[in-house]
Structure 1
């Protein structure tokens, strides 16, 4: 059995020493092999792509999934070498759209709850944002074995990103406290529900279950909620030379959604959640290959009995 913690540690320590073209070729090959084998993750990726892109036939979805796997593995390749990147390289690798929407908040000493999907490279985005916009505080799923999660937290900490473990006591309270002592940005990956407190929404015409965290944080801390899209883009010329790689990312800050109508806190969370899902749903449809969703997110793909228990635990359907 592969020791994941040891494997990730080895990659973080040694990948920056490998010439970038060699590393890129290795990860592209790994992505193509995974795509050709068409395991459960790739099949789920194709099914998710088919739902958000009903305009594509099966062959086009299959081709799109190949590019999706390459971009998914690119995320890991970039993550493993990110600690070795200079500030100048980070600046060259990141282009920002809609910056005015977030600096209007942070420049005034405020905080923002950011709703992110598994798009592009969110670690690169966080590494860029922490020293340039405001301190970054986020939540991450506990990985197994524990040593792997510790490595993960250490890695993000080296990038200036503070991580709270999902499921620990007081996580949401600490998020609220962090938001109340701004300036701070609080990005939460939320296009998949990892708890029993998620929200069922309409995602591109299909029922899906997403996390309620960004909206709940915005309501509790009384801070704006901004959807954020991230996608890869090919670099050329002087920017590519400064970046040290042919690929960078575009971070798109959308205007804040809401504020929610008067009503119960749950109703406000549901309204804000659907609002950011509408924004990022359109973004995913435009940049589908950047959506690294190899798990079930749509209700139709969930186990019915398990989902019924999830809804019951969340107090839904009563």
Structure 2
């Protein structure tokens, strides 16, 4: 296992160096070719099952071009992630500012001296959204799932710290991450959480694209406990850039369960509008999760 972990770490390290050294067009072409090769074999089974829910069809009827587009989108995320530390953050923030919608929800919150919980899905390039926050609002605080090996986890932490993020490990810290996030929010900080996939098995039951699953209680609980807004964020790719939308605050007045369902509804709308840009290759729905519990954690999870 130590050798496998070392190979993963060296592979990511090599990717960071190689992709940043290549011209952008060449790098993206290589990632497209890798995505197309995966698509020719039918694509990952779990991706097809997830897209089937989003498009209300059976896995074997998910269009091949949607699978290819999804894999290309996922490849684009990784290509951009490898290259992002070399990109001018000021210019990148200007690009986001020119196309994103709903940013006033964040500005209003910050202007009142309050923090906010931003809840996102694994869609588009949320790292780019974080760069905008770091440049225009202040360093966002995010949770990082601890990867194996530890050297790879540290590599991802350094990557996001270079972008201006504050990283709190999901596990292994001296203080529970929830308590740390509460402290940041009470300081008027912005907390960003990827929130459509429950990693604990103890999340809030919700209906998502018509089927039962669980989503983390953390975003709603943090907003309720600290009195800050809970803002859903949609991210997607455009041919020449990125799309971002910050939605109106979720009503948290009826408790964690109701707020989490409302958040799931917003996520559903955002994913349905841009299904190819939802990078979810892991089980999400209750019906798919049991077998994954036996193997999850043996390799780095996507983002």
**TM-score exceeds 0.5:** yes
**Cα distance, 1:36 vs. partner?**
2.1
Superposed, 1:142-291 pairs within 5 Å as: 142-168=146-172, 169-182=175-188, 184-235=189-240, 248-261=241-254, 268-291=255-278
Q: 1:26: how far off?
A: 0.3
8 Å CA contact 1:229, 1:280 repeated in 2? yes
1:270 Cα deviation from its structure 2 partner: 1.0
Assess if the C-alpha contact under 8 Å between 1:44 and 1:294 holds in 2.
yes
Q: Which residue of 1 aligns with 2:281?
A: 294
Q: What is the Cα deviation at residue 214 of structure 1? A: 0.7
Distance in 1 of aligned mates of 2:190 and 2:291: 36
1:37 deviates by 2.8
1:83 aligned residue (79, 82, 85)? 85
Q: Measure, in 2, the Cα distance between the counterparts of 1:214 and 1:3.
A: 35
Q: Match for 1:112 among 106, 112, 116?
A: 116
Q: How many Å separate the matches in 2 of 1:124 and 1:10?
A: 22
The whole-number CA distance in structure 2 between the counterparts of 1:57 and 1:143 is 30
Q: TM-score when scaled to structure 1? A: 0.85
In 1, the alpha carbon distance for the partners of 2:289 and 2:138 equals 37
Map Cα deviations across residues 5-42 of structure 1 (whole Å, 9 max, x no partner): 22222222342221111101100011111222346xx2
Contact 1:115 1:228 in 2 (8 A): yes
Sort the Cα spacing of 1:205 and 1:9 in 2 relative to 1 into closer, same or farther, 3 A. Answer: same
Match of 1:11 in 2: 15
> Is the 1:46–1:62 Cα contact (8 Å) retained in structure 2?
no
Q: Distance in 1 between matches of 2:94 and 2:214?
A: 36
Q: What SS does the aligned partner of 1:230 have? A: strand
TM-score, normalized by length of structure 2? 0.89
Inter-partner Cα distance in structure 2 for 1:57 and 1:171: 37
1:53/1:269 Cα in 2 relative to 1: closer, same or farther (>3 Å)? same
1:287, distance to aligned residue in structure 2 (A)? 0.6
Unaligned runs of 5+ in 1: 236-247, 262-267, 308-318
Task: Give the Cα–Cα distance (whole angstroms) in 1 for the partners of residues 128 and 11 of structure 2.
Answer: 21
Name the residue aligned to 1:43: 45
Go from structure 1 to structure 2 and tell me whether the alpha carbon gap of 1:170 and 1:153 turns closer, same or farther (over 3 Å shift): same
Instruction: Report deviation, 1:57.
Output: 8.3
**Separation of aligned partners in 1, 2:293 and 2:89:** 46
For 1:138 and 1:10, how far apart are their aligned partners in 2? 25
- Unmatched 5+ residue regions in structure 2? 295-303
Asked whether the 8 Å contact 1:118–1:189 carries over to 2, the reply is yes
SS of 2:233's partner is strand
- In structure 2, C-alpha distance between the alignment counterparts of 1:250 and 1:63, rounded to whole Å: 21
